[in-house]
Amino acid sequence: MIDEVNNGLSYFDTTFLRELPRLYASLEDRLAAADPALGAPELAAFVQVGSWIGGDRDGNPFVTAEVLERALAMQAAVALGYYLTELHTLGSQLSLGLGLVSAS
């Protein structure tokens, strides 16, 4: 059962976590270009990602409370890991201010 969870989660980094923000940004840019009076619109969330993997307790004897708990923890770890990697990438691109370090 956990192999099935791993397989499903392997797609998240290259699909939902990476591409949904790009989709929203692209749509917001197009709306702003189509009607400058809108300014910089911020779209409300209209796509929600859900998964039954590891939680389909409708008679599957292999899906236990422990499997569900582990599946949720794995999903949280994938999302957190993705955003931590993005944060570290951003941090590596920022320069340090003179208020934090002295000039050398």
Q: Which residues of 20-49 are buried (b: 16+ CB within 10 A; e: fewer)?
A: eeeebeeeeeeeeeeeeeeeeeeeeeeeee
What integer pLDDT is reported at residue 77 of this predicted model?
95
pLDDT mean values, one per 10 residues, the chain (104 residues): 88 90 93 88 88 82 90 94 94 76 68
What integer pLDDT is reported at residue 98 of this predicted model?
63
- Is 43:23 a contact under the CB 8 Å cutoff? no
d(CA 20, CA 14): 10
What integer pLDDT is reported at residue 104 of this predicted model?
65
71 burial class (0-12, 13-18, 19+ CB within 10 angstroms)?
A: buried
Closest to 55 measured CA to CA, from 94, 9, 104, 102? 9
Residues in the chain: 104
What integer pLDDT is reported at residue 51 of this predicted model?
81
What integer pLDDT is reported at residue 40 of this predicted model?
83
What are the boundaries of each domain within the chain?
Answer: 2-85
